[in-house]
Amino acid sequence: MGSQPQPPLCSSTTKTSSEMDGAQIYLVTGGCGFIGEKITELLSQQDYIKEVRVFDSVARKEVEKVATGTENVLKACCALNIPYVVYTSSIAAVGPNVLHEPMLRGNEDTKYSGEVELPYGKTKAMAERLVLEANGKKLSNGGKLTTCIIRANTVYGEKATFLHDLYLSAKAQNGVLNYLEPEHTERNSTYVGNVAWMHVLAARHLQLRPDALAGQVYYSYDDTPTTKGFLIRYQLLSCMDSTIRLGSRIPYWKMWLMIHLHRIIEIILSPFWKPRPFLNFPLLNTIVTTFSYETDKAFRHFGYKPLYSWQESKLRTARWLRAAVGSLSPQ
């Protein structure tokens, strides 16, 4: 890279970097989050990086007063001559749609249309459009912005609060783990360390091979089995506590009634008490719809291979969960 100062490299909602005297400086926006914290950890271990900086509303209260959305990050990149952006998105930006049409073992080129079901997915889809439209935009110094996107599906691992809550719920039901998905459904799950590693590699190769990665979208993946989501959750929890047993499926109609009942209770009690958040229909419909992919695009474009095996991912998750809930079960 040489010894002359270089323009900074940026990656939105997950990382940013700049190059000074041959050593890079990365900024991780949302770096205190579930995935962002792991990205920060892995970046700090790379010998080509001089410094890792974190920007997050959790870290500093002043940030809460500043709009830190994707559009503003992209504008800042153009104004400050930060030429590279890797954006963290989600499979929810693609689907399922409101018609609950499935996608089985698709890939980044699979055609899938229709209005996205989840509100979260709609915001991610909007952000993706901004990131892709920004690819090739001119910087204030005459250079150009280069962007790519990484889409995750269900991410598990250390600090995955949904696993902590799920374990406590199962223990409250005598160790029985019930589930909502029909037997035929299929979804992808990926360990947080591998999602973070894909970001680290993408950010590096966005500099080394910008023509190959520019404007591209990559699904995150590892060797976690692509199967029914409840089986993955069961394997993760039972790895930590062998007393956890797989229960039975909760019928759709029963959950449908429970959601309606919760809404009625919420309306009646709203002047006096706000009930805990509960499952909603868009999320329920997403859970019961097959949406899976199969790809090696990240390997082909920038040599990505999972940093952690499925077995190691399970053990790491189990160690964290055991520490999080205390020694409630035998090893």
H helices then E strands: how many in the chain? Answer: 11, 13
Annotation marks residue 156 as catalytic:
no
Cβ atoms of residues 9 and 46 within 8 Å: no
Residue 16: C-alpha distances to residues 30, 91, 257 (Å): 11, 22, 46
Neighbours of 142 (CB within 10 A): 7
Q: Give ∠ CA 136-17-38 in degrees, rounded to 5.
A: 115
In 3-state terms, the chain is what percent helix, strand and coil (to 5)?
Answer: 40, 20, 35
Contacts (Cβ under 8 Å, ≥6 apart) of 96: 102, 103, 116, 117, 285, 286, 289, 291
The strand pair at 15-20 and 23-29 is best described as: antiparallel
Across 63-96, b (16+ Cβ under 10 Å) vs e yields eeeeebebeebbeebbeebbbbbbbbbbbbbbbb
Inter-residue contact 91 to 293 (CB < 8 Å): yes
Q: Which of 150, 246, 239 minimizes the C-alpha distance to 195?
A: 150
* Active-site residue identified among 112, 120, 218, 308: 120
* Bond preceding residue 96 cis, omega within 30 of 0: yes
Q: What is the dihedral of CA 68, 74, 78, 82, to 10 degrees?
A: 90
Active site residues: 120
